[in-house]
Amino acid sequence: MDSIFAVTVNGASVANRPAIINLLQAAGLPTADLPSTMEHFFVAVVDGIVVGAIGLELYGHDGLLRSMVVNELQRGNAIAAQLLQQLESHAQKKALHSLYLLTETAAHYFERKGYRPVTRDAVPAALQASSEFSHVCPASAIVMKKDIQSL
């Protein structure tokens, strides 16, 4: 879909944290374990307003994609795709091999982007010990993986 507005995707700053929290809360996503520094997070901005966000946690050669959210009024404008592309590019620069994520609502979206369901047992131990895996996301969440070293 062609958008009639300019979206920029940039690295997030601490100043973006309140806007990211608001977006996550509006979407019913967890915020309790959101990092204070916002390192490895990205925001989508339209007219100076944060309308989307995505984050990455690093665990050795693997990463955990987390907190992908787009303002409900901006959905359908390819903002999520831009955020995901930025995050995957960042992950490649960090020499990660694979990205993992947990989702309850967006499995079909991520499948279209090359992510495949995996069992929790297939996830590296360091990721399983993360707050997202261990207590933030419910056990019913779908675990997905994408190999990115060859992208």
pLDDT of residue 109: 94
Spans of all domains in the chain = 7-147
pLDDT of residue 18: 95
Q: How far apart are CA 143 and CA 71, in angstroms?
A: 23
Q: What is the pLDDT along the chain (151 residues), one digit of tens a residue?
A: 444 568 999 999 999 999 999 999 999 888 888 888 899 999 999 999 999 999 999 999 999 999 899 998 888 888 999 999 999 999 999 999 999 999 988 899 999 999 999 998 899 988 888 877 765 666 678 999 999 875 5
pLDDT of residue 3: 47
Which residues, listed in sequence order, are joined to residue 116 by a DSSP beta bridge? Answer: 145
Pairing of strands 62-70, 98-103: parallel
SS (H, E, C) the chain: CCCCCCEEEEECCHHHHHHHHHHHHHCCCCCCCCCCCCCCEEEEEECCEEEEEEEEEEECCEEEEEEEEECHHHCCCCHHHHHHHHHHHHHHHCCCCEEEEEECCCHHHHHHCCCEEECHHHCCHHHHCCHHHHHHCCCCCEEEEEECCCC
Q: How far apart are CA 142 and CA 97, in angstroms?
A: 20
Q: Where do we find the tokens 């987390």?
A: 66
Please check whether residue 84 is in contact with residue 55, taking contact to mean a CB–CB distance below 8 angstroms: no
Q: Which CATH class is domain 7-147?
A: alpha beta
